[in-house]
Amino acid sequence: MSTSDPNNVRVAVIGAGMSGILTAIRLQELGIEFSVFEKADRIGGTWRENTYPGLSCDVPSHAYTYSFARNPDWSRWYAPGPEIQAYFQKVADDNGVTELVRFGDEVTSLEFDDGAWELRTAGGYAGRFEAVVAATGVLHHPNVPDIPGLERFAGACFHSARWDHSVPLEGRRVGVIGTGSTAVQITTALIDDVEQFTLFQRTAQWIMPGDAKVFTDEEKAAYRDDPGKLEQFVAQVKDSMRVGISQAVIDADSVQLRKIEHLCEKNLNTVRDPELRERLRPTYRAACKRLIFSPDFYDAIQKPNAVLVTDPIERIEPEGVRTRDGVLHRLDVLVLATGFQVDRFVRPIRVIGRDGVDLNDAWADGPLAYISVTVPGFPNFFMLNGPNGPVGNFSLIDVAELQLNYSLQLIEALRDGRCRELSPTPEATAAFEAERRAAASHTVWSSGCNSWYLDRDGVPATWTFSWDRFCEEMNAPKWEAFSLR
């Protein structure tokens, strides 16, 4: 791409998922030279990697779109995964992004030197960029549990994010380890097709009665013909989320959280068998773990071919899963719905900042960033949906749009010659982190459960303030918090 920028700031965008597509579009609009690096063979990020049966988003469809590319044609309240992937592909194609991506060229190292980043890829590419936007996402490094004997299982075994569609499931005995959103979606999708479905539950989950609404052709046409009406509907959905959920999770004493608890309890009471109901009942408050939305999980787990196993897994054997009570649960297929390594972010890319500091060393005590975007000692390096961001509160598209707008204001300082290097000061980062951790004690995430939101110290590693506070922080950089060189 050509650029009229007198300082010729070139930006490397790592990742061509939701955030990477967004970044490429905005950089094009601003005439900033850039390259997009994607390790896979097509765009999509999370929605490319995950293809398991029943995959859908847990954010209402119309709230999960770019502000500049609303979609009037969503089929359901919670859109299925292939539909979301198609949406991102269309946006990328319509905006000329797809043709600009270097597919199949994984970034392996970034090293900062004299005002720019030296970038190298597995394919042998080497380039120099004045700024880097890490649009690498959070949910893309599968977490494979360390269970004795896992490699000995004689049947098909795979992680939910690496679904093997060549494996037949109809009429077979399928086991799923995990009870998060993924496992719940797989349960409802497969229960009617398999001979036996065994769900291995380590921790029970609170489940909200998700909306099963299907949008009619008339509703789609109305939104298509009247963009103002569609925008009004999107605003209503987002306001409902922010008032009903976002406020609830950051205030464990809120009225909103009590309403959520009431709805979850009412939903659980639809389980007819009292013994099964109690085994499905969590011992912690609703929303302490990420809320799960499902209109039919409790129906599925009550079907005759469903087996809920709550005894701890002792080991995997060739024939199936052996639990601590001595029972062997015989299986043909074993699925690991065991989540992701959520502390990886831009890693395993080797990132070397100013003075030769390795990001792994900087993050030895856990990932840390100033208001989730920038890291002290790593100049001109910007993360979208980075550490301690609002991954548990809001639509990640809204988050990415605000963070990118913030990052572009910082990049503008490089373009107009105010500086060649900028990064947050350690003092500003430490002060904000102290405030964030103090606020965490009031959130429901600190109310007594173990979840992927918590860091190694048991402190929520997410945004612990309101949506308004996030918008305020992202509106404009506080330049006194940055070191400019």
Q: Is residue 17 a contact partner of residue 82, using CB atoms and an 8 Å limit?
A: no
Confidence label for 343 from pLDDT (cuts 50, 70 and 90)? confident
CA–CA distance, 353 with 398 (Å, rounded to integer): 29
Q: Is residue 130 a contact partner of residue 10, using CB atoms and an 8 Å limit?
A: yes
Question: Hey, what are 418's tokens?
Answer: 């105010």
Which ranges in 416-462 belong to alpha helices (H)?
Answer: 426-440
The tens digit of pLDDT for each residue in 432-484 reads 999 999 999 999 999 999 888 898 889 999 999 999 999 999 999 999 999 99
Confidence label for 247 from pLDDT (cuts 50, 70 and 90)? confident
- What length is written for the chain? 485
Q: Which residues pair with 123 in a beta bridge?
A: none
The confidence score (pLDDT) of residue 2 equals 34
Which helix (H) or strand (E) covers residue 321, if one does?
strand 320-323
Q: Is the pLDDT of residue 408 over 60?
A: yes
Mean pLDDT computed over 287-295:
94
How distant is the alpha carbon of residue 297 from its chain centre? 22
How distant is the alpha carbon of residue 128 from its chain centre? 29
10-43+97-141+341-484, what's its fold?
FAD/NAD(P)-binding domain (3.50.50)
The confidence score (pLDDT) of residue 296 equals 96
What rounded mean pLDDT belongs to the chain?
Answer: 95
The confidence score (pLDDT) of residue 7 equals 66
The tens digit of pLDDT for each residue in 165-200 reads 999 999 999 999 999 999 999 999 999 999 999 999
CATH of 150-213+221-336, one of 3.50.50.60, 3.40.50.300, 3.30.70.260, 3.40.50.720: 3.50.50.60
The tens digit of pLDDT for each residue in 378-393 reads 999 999 999 999 986 6
Q: Is the pLDDT of residue 295 over 50?
A: yes
Say if strands 131-134 and 10-14 run parallel, antiparallel, or are unpaired. Answer: parallel
The tens digit of pLDDT for each residue in 297-338 reads 999 999 999 999 999 999 999 999 999 999 999 999 999 999
Q: Which of helix, strand or coil describes residue 104? A: coil
Candidates 23, 29, 27; CA nearest to 10 is: 27
Q: Which residues contact 462 (CB under 8 A, 6 or more apart)?
A: 388, 389, 390, 391, 392, 393, 445, 453
Phi, psi of 448 (to 5 degrees): 120, 60
Confidence label for 286 from pLDDT (cuts 50, 70 and 90)? very high
Q: Is the pLDDT of residue 244 over 50?
A: yes
Q: Which of helix, strand or coil describes residue 439? A: helix
**Could you tell me the pTM of the whole model?**
0.95
Question: Hey, what are 88's tokens?
Answer: 């991102």
Residues of the chain with CATH 3.50.50.60: 10-43+97-141+341-484, 150-213+221-336
The tens digit of pLDDT for each residue in 13-42 reads 999 999 999 999 999 999 999 999 999 999
Mean pLDDT computed over 68-83:
97
Q: Which of helix, strand or coil describes residue 216? A: coil
CA–CA distance, 314 with 485 (Å, rounded to integer): 56
